[in-house]
Structure 1
């Protein structure tokens, strides 16, 4: 070990050839660290079980997880990284950029910190009465578990897959927010149990036995997710649990399973108030969910509505009803809706400008009605150019122009997608 080569507040670690470092083990660097220090680990293979009792430190790899592995010591049944195991209340610990494999993975005990840009296999992540942030990680084989009162977490932009149990397990009053994660090929994608609380937004959940499982007095707010191809059911809410579930895309053989609600808390809700969109399938209004089946017989696939909301409610059971289920509109219907928007600009836009906009949209509808999609797209492109000219001349304001252009572009995309 050579002391004095690191800059202030930074210790380096290297156990192989390459740069001379301050330490040859991560544990020795942790033991020497103080508040605010960074431990920079050079690429290589490190066989360690690291106990962290120093708060406010960052442990990060220089070259990333593909070439920097930390594995548990053979024959030792322990975590690769333990935060707060020796002394609880170890806060603000960041672990960034490692391939963490084997053992019991990474464990927080009544502590806090961040996990970023790691690949974690065969050991998983566990947080007990802790607050952690988990961003841009890949978790394989064993999932993530949050348990007990005072546990809270944010999971964002992670990939969680091939776990024999739940990919993400929230239990015993833990509170977790999940945003933009991809969760697939697990026994359950997300499992909530025993007074758990989960806010689940913008995730893709597929190929699990159960997509989302909310049971035993738990609550989930589930919005803007894509949930498909789950073998048993897309979402299950049972055992005195409830959820607020809206603006999700479901496409599973069975999309939802519920039971008799607790009269003290009432049934789950399956739609929000109808408001301007766009919604999960690109329609003009937020409301309920899109209900599809792989064989094309789903409620949203077989029922229509003029505004992207089905004309009839979707009855899951006698207590659970989506009053505003979503449906797809045709390009003609979408163009008609855009005309309604134009006509609703009374007093804001000159009649002559609205007239030209309507004529151009009528031309689009004419071409679509005749099946000439290529010419319809050209007419929409001409419409977009005209809107830009009207904005530059001050005849449309920026908000109006942006909406007209975005809707025209969306209709073009619909036409192109319809052609396969």
Structure 2
């Protein structure tokens, strides 16, 4: 180990030959502060600053990193040369900077154990430990620009540690054996900044807060390819979760469970998670705004089991099996764009799907009402940007002020023809339809109805050029008037049932 000390800085007071001047011109009520008093105080502060600078050293380390840590003084900087080093424990305020340095440990040890406040560590590859970098009961530490991989439990862990910065690290492929653990883990830790990290392919969670973690800011992280992107469990409140990419995880992008309340969740991306974009379980009074929640497998937004009093505003929720699933009450949902979900929304509680007029409700891609009236009761002539009729989620849940614009049918009929429209029993009716659909169509069938009741027989339509064609046989019908109804679904499960036209059947003579 070589020691490269900064040049020693000395000043006259260190020799004992220079003393602060006598304060003969000191403060007096009748005169104020004298010039020599100001000069003396300034000189004293200058001496203190010089002494502080002189005491901090920059030390280059190329072997036995723990010995260098033990020998260093608080405030020193250790410049760690390329090489592989054994586990370390830091019990004083130091700044460690790695340059191609690797720290690794056995599977039951932490690679880096930080037990002092105001420690900074950056630029290391940390691997193959029980923990990667562990902060225990400390504050004011910075962990930045490290790669922490293949540890048995968390890559980076904060235990009972407040006011730290975790920034720009790659904490991936940790906890892959046994129980499955985390990229970054906070426990009983508050007021931390978790910024711009990557946590990919960890056994369970990209980032996990459990339990009792409050007032943390989790911003700009990429949490993909885990079971859960960000998982908050038990009494985690008043956290800010913003501008994170919580996508392509095997369960949910973001999951809050059991008394995780009053969190601000905004401007995140939750795309193509296998189960849900965002799940709340027994967690209420959160603000969920400005998020892109798109193409998740089962649910865009899933709110369950006493997750009451949440505000859901200005989100885009699209292309999932169910856009919003609510099994809770007293939630307020408005100004969201809810589009192209197989089931746009399901409400099993008592929730509000619009704010008061004129704040309005939500934009639904399958709303096809008109906008001719305005006002709280939509009974005053003149458009206001809200549909005149409510959007119906179910018989007891309505959006009273659906927002107009961008409504597009997932499946629509653009042309249709029946020939003939008057047939004798046993004749075939030729059916031609031209369709417009966002996704590939699976199956098209036609069935006859009489006075609202389905009659016997059906026909199938197949693609023919830019149209679908087939025939419907009247052989099983009694003479009378009928409606011919098309049923169609697409590869994502959207369904359309629409009457193509009427025909009559007469007896054969």
TM-score (norm 2): 0.51
Q: Match of 2:322, SS?
A: coil
CA distance in 1 between counterparts of 2:89 and 2:2 reads 12
**Is the 2:79–2:97 contact (alpha carbons within 8 Å) kept by the matching residues of 1?**
no
Provide the residue aligned with 1:247 in structure 2. Answer: 314
CA gap 1:135/1:297 in 2 versus in 1, 3 angstroms? closer
Provide the residue aligned with 1:409 in structure 2. Answer: none
Provide the residue aligned with 2:297 in structure 1. Answer: 231
Provide the residue aligned with 2:225 in structure 1. Answer: 162
Provide the residue aligned with 2:157 in structure 1. Answer: 107
CA distance in 1 between counterparts of 2:343 and 2:259 reads 36
CA gap 1:21/1:170 in 2 versus in 1, 3 angstroms? closer
**Is the 1:11–1:39 contact (alpha carbons within 8 Å) kept by the matching residues of 2?**
no
Provide the residue aligned with 2:186 in structure 1. Answer: 127
CA distance in 2 between counterparts of 1:127 and 1:191 reads 15
**Is the 2:149–2:173 contact (alpha carbons within 8 Å) kept by the matching residues of 1?**
yes
CA distance in 2 between counterparts of 1:222 and 1:297 reads 18
Question: How far does the alpha carbon of each residue in 1:147-172 deviate from its partner, in whole angstroms, 9 at most, with x for none?
Answer: 223533211111111112x2111121
Tell me the number of residue pairs that the alignment of Structure 1 and Structure 2 aligns: 288
**Is the 1:301–1:327 contact (alpha carbons within 8 Å) kept by the matching residues of 2?**
no
Q: Which residue among 251, 260, 268 is the counterpart of 1:203?
A: 268
Structure that is richer in strand per residue: 2
Provide the residue aligned with 2:287 in structure 1. Answer: 221
Provide the residue aligned with 2:405 in structure 1. Answer: 328
CA distance in 2 between counterparts of 1:21 and 1:153 reads 30
Question: How far does the alpha carbon of each residue in 1:4-62 deviate from its partner, in whole angstroms, 9 at most, with x for none?
Answer: 3579365555569xxx946874855834x42xx4211112433141110010121112x
1:220, distance to aligned residue in structure 2 (A): 2.4
1:69, distance to aligned residue in structure 2 (A): 1.8
CA gap 1:14/1:250 in 2 versus in 1, 3 angstroms? farther
CA distance in 2 between counterparts of 1:313 and 1:10 reads 70
CA distance in 1 between counterparts of 2:385 and 2:324 reads 21
CA distance in 1 between counterparts of 2:140 and 2:86 reads 18
Provide the residue aligned with 2:325 in structure 1. Answer: 257
Provide the residue aligned with 2:340 in structure 1. Answer: 293
Q: Match of 1:54, SS?
A: coil
Q: How does 1:389-408 map to 2 (within 5 A)?
A: none
**Is the 1:72–1:80 contact (alpha carbons within 8 Å) kept by the matching residues of 2?**
yes
**Is the 1:194–1:217 contact (alpha carbons within 8 Å) kept by the matching residues of 2?**
yes
Q: Which residue among 108, 117, 121 is the counterpart of 2:168?
A: 117
CA gap 1:72/1:145 in 2 versus in 1, 3 angstroms? same
**Is the 1:137–1:157 contact (alpha carbons within 8 Å) kept by the matching residues of 2?**
yes
2:98 is aligned with 1:41: yes
1:122, distance to aligned residue in structure 2 (A): 2.1
**Is the 1:11–1:38 contact (alpha carbons within 8 Å) kept by the matching residues of 2?**
no
Q: Match of 1:149, SS?
A: coil
Provide the residue aligned with 1:141 in structure 2. Answer: 201
Q: Which has the larger radius of gyration?
A: 2
2:252 is aligned with 1:188: yes
Q: Match of 1:42, SS?
A: strand
Gaps of 5+ in 1: 62-67, 262-266, 272-287, 331-420
1:189, distance to aligned residue in structure 2 (A): 0.7
CA gap 1:42/1:29 in 2 versus in 1, 3 angstroms? farther
1:322, distance to aligned residue in structure 2 (A): 4.6
Gaps of 5+ in 2: 7-52, 65-77, 106-110, 175-182, 346-362, 372-382, 408-509
CA distance in 2 between counterparts of 1:320 and 1:173 reads 31
Higher mean displacement: 1-10 or 201-210 = 1-10
CA distance in 1 between counterparts of 2:234 and 2:286 reads 14
1:325, distance to aligned residue in structure 2 (A): 4.4
**Is the 2:198–2:221 contact (alpha carbons within 8 Å) kept by the matching residues of 1?**
yes
CA gap 1:30/1:160 in 2 versus in 1, 3 angstroms? same
CA distance in 1 between counterparts of 2:201 and 2:86 reads 25
Provide the residue aligned with 2:139 in structure 1. Answer: 91
CA distance in 2 between counterparts of 1:235 and 1:137 reads 25
TM-score (norm 1): 0.61
Q: Match of 2:364, SS?
A: helix
